[in-house]
Amino acid sequence: MKANFVKVALGAGLLAATALAAPTAASAKTLVYCSEGSPEGFNPSLYTSGTTFDASSRQVFNRLVQFKRGTTTIVPGLATSWDVSADGLEYTFNLRKGVKFHSTDEFTPTREFNADDVIFTFMRQFDKEHPYHGVSGGSYEYFNAMSMPDLIKDIVKVDDYTVKFVLNRPEAPFIANMAMDFASVLSAEYADVMMEAGTPEAVDLNPVGTGPFQLVTYQKDAVIRYKAFPEYWEGPAAIDNLIFAITPDSTVRYQKLQAGECHVMPYPNPADLEAMDADADINLLSQEGLNVGYLGYNTAKEPFTDPKVRKALNMAINKDAIIEGVYQGAGSAAKNPIPPTIWSYNNDTVDDPYDPEAAKAMLAEAGYPDGFTTDIWAMPVQRPYNPNARRMAELVQADWAAIGVNAEIVSYEWGEYLERTKKGEQGTFMLGWTGDNGDPDNFLAVLLGCDAVGGSNRAQWCNEEFDNLIQQAKTTSDVLERTRLYEEAQVVFKREAPWATIAHSIVFEPVRNEVVDYKIDPFGGHIFYGVDLAE
């Protein structure tokens, strides 16, 4: 920094001097995060993108239950405890007392958080007749995607500090859903005031939450400013101000990080990782992502109806080459359909070995000594779980050619790709999944359950044994029992091989050295409560 100042004084003089001197003038602790894009809005229930969640739910709001920072473990949030009825149909939440809401220019809360806020938050999404349901476009895609409208029968206020959710069927992952971003609790009082003022949309634009940071201002596509909420119920944040400097280009984000214009940046360019690791001012954090990239077989189509064929193709794929060539090292080989950061991950399953000779023999055994012709569908988009599907398809194509299977690579525009794979037009296809709530059900039932065939179960795979296990696991809230069932389900999955599990990506996040106690969020979020800056 000192050297910079000398150069500045000699060179550009006054201009740059002010740009650099300004930060030191501020005595308050200000953390700058170079975010990757602009939020769609500030009400997390209306949107589904991580960028929006980073800007809203993860700083401004709380949920009844929350994920312990850096883990998928569920801990109390605005509810101090909860009880599940014996039949698994009723969830009763005991709410925290003394929780305060933020104030804005238009609104000063007159009361603390209570059951009315919880009722408002969920009824707005659930009840189509609710006065707020249609406000701001009124589409609650995550609430719908998690099947909440079918699942919830009623939401009852027992007293000011007790709320009961009545379900239509037992659903153990429900509690994990309550920790998701769409379940962020909004202020009912604020909503009433804004409705009376004739500006109900204000609720979704100028958020009032109970979270550790309150929104100060958002300048579209440029900057979001927050300040620490001094009355936050877990205690005020260690930093005073939080600034999101919106920087869409990953190379530029890295330049800003190097220049000290920001402290934390998401989504580094894989090509920059080596330089970041070598940079003495930068601490490169990494963690396995909560995702899986896979190649699925259309099990409703010949010859993939035969598990032997699927196994044989699995054994022909050289995963190490894919991780090197496609993930550029930022991935680890996957053997199960769920990532190892999720509880119930079965570490005892054995992956199909890379063995082209054995693959060929198994193919012959299945009745295809000369192989066959098929297709590989490659996604047209880049995803953390699959950074380059086209390249991956080429590698798999070459691997399969070695055992006599000739595959043609097929690709469609993204929306079209998703629709057609749903209908099962493909032979084999690439896709992946990023977990929503850290519950194994969110992978196993959503992607491989019989109910999901024709939907997100694009392998069209319905196995009775597997399905029984995951359905059973849904109905009990005993975690030990659920763990056992899911572990068994993974064994069935491995034996039947509806997918070739390819990899779990590794998430990298470079932060400057002065950043203290930043943790990578397994859900891909960026959370700044609990983070400090060294003097």
Partner 1 sequence: MLGFLFRRLGDIIPTFFGVTLLVFFLIRLIPGDPILMLAGERGVDAERYAELQAQYGFDQPIIVQYFDYLVGVFQGDLGKSFVTKKPVIDEFLTLFPATVELALMGILFAVFIGVPLGVLAAINRGKWIDHLTMSISLTGYSMPIFWWALLLIMFFSTTLGWTPVSGRLSVMYFFEPVTGFMLIDSLLSGEKGAFSSAVSHLILPTIALGTIPMAVIARMTRSSMLEVLGEEYIRVARAKGLAPFRVIMVHALRNALIPVITVIGLQVGVLLGGAILTETIFSWPGIGKWIIEAMNRRDYPTIQGGILMIAFVVMTMNLIVDLLYGVVNPRIRHKR
Given the rule CB under 8 A, which residues bind partner 1?
A: 4, 7-8, 11-12, 14-16, 18-23, 25-26, 30, 32, 37-38, 40-41, 46, 48, 136-137, 139, 141, 144-145, 201, 216-217, 219-223, 225, 243, 245-249, 251-252, 255-256, 258-259, 261, 412-416, 418-419, 422, 431-433, 455-456
List beta partners, residue 481.
none
**Nearest residue (CB) to partner 1, 103 versus 258:** 258
**Nearest residue (CB) to partner 1, 230 versus 248:** 248
Dihedral, 246, 250, 255, 260 alpha carbons, nearest 10? 50
Distance of CA 47 to the CA centre of its chain: 13
**Nearest residue (CB) to partner 1, 93 versus 417:** 417
Shortest approach of partner 1 to residue 137 CB, angstroms? Answer: 4
d(CA 459, CA 310): 11
User: CB–CB of 375/298 below 8 Å?
Assistant: no
- Non-local (6+) Cβ contacts of 301 within 8 A are 424, 427, 460
Shortest approach of partner 1 to residue 106 CB, angstroms? Answer: 15
Q: Report the candidate in 26, 517, 530 with the shortest Cα–Cα distance to residue 237.
A: 530
User: CB–CB of 295/483 below 8 Å?
Assistant: no
Shortest approach of partner 1 to residue 7 CB, angstroms? Answer: 6
**Nearest residue (CB) to partner 1, 323 versus 430:** 430
Cβ neighbours around 40 below 10 Å, total: 15
Distance of CA 436 to the CA centre of its chain: 5
Shortest approach of partner 1 to residue 46 CB, angstroms? Answer: 8
Shortest approach of partner 1 to residue 456 CB, angstroms? Answer: 6
d(CA 483, CA 480): 5
Shortest approach of partner 1 to residue 334 CB, angstroms? Answer: 17
**Nearest residue (CB) to partner 1, 47 versus 190:** 47
d(CA 386, CA 433): 10
Shortest approach of partner 1 to residue 378 CB, angstroms? Answer: 15
**Nearest residue (CB) to partner 1, 39 versus 303:** 39
Shortest approach of partner 1 to residue 101 CB, angstroms? Answer: 24
**Nearest residue (CB) to partner 1, 110 versus 217:** 217
Tell me the three state secondary structure of residue 216. strand
Shortest approach of partner 1 to residue 524 CB, angstroms? Answer: 14
Shortest approach of partner 1 to residue 38 CB, angstroms? Answer: 7
Judged on CB neighbours under 10 Å (0-12, 13-18, 19+), 476 is middle
**Nearest residue (CB) to partner 1, 274 versus 478:** 274
Q: Which two tokens stand for residue 506?
A: 């590794």
Give helix 188-197 / helix 115-126 axis angle, nearest 10°: 60
**Nearest residue (CB) to partner 1, 131 versus 134:** 134
User: CB–CB of 92/82 below 8 Å?
Assistant: yes
Q: Report the candidate in 370, 352, 356 with the shortest Cα–Cα distance to residue 295.
A: 352
Shortest approach of partner 1 to residue 217 CB, angstroms? Answer: 7
**Nearest residue (CB) to partner 1, 57 versus 477:** 57
DSSP string, 324-349: HHTSTT-EEE--SSS-TTSTT--TT-
**Nearest residue (CB) to partner 1, 273 versus 446:** 446
**Nearest residue (CB) to partner 1, 277 versus 355:** 277
Shortest approach of partner 1 to residue 80 CB, angstroms? Answer: 32
**Nearest residue (CB) to partner 1, 222 versus 401:** 222
What's phi and psi for 419, nearest 5 deg? -65, -45
Shortest approach of partner 1 to residue 100 CB, angstroms? Answer: 25
DSSP string, 217-285: EEETTTEEEEEE-TT-TT---SSSEEEEE----HHHHHHHHHTTS-SB-SS--GGGHHHHHH-TTEEEE
DSSP string, 112-140: ---HHHHHHHHHHHH-TTSTTTTGGG---
User: CB–CB of 257/510 below 8 Å?
Assistant: yes
d(CA 393, CA 407): 9
Q: Which two tokens stand for residue 377?
A: 């569908």
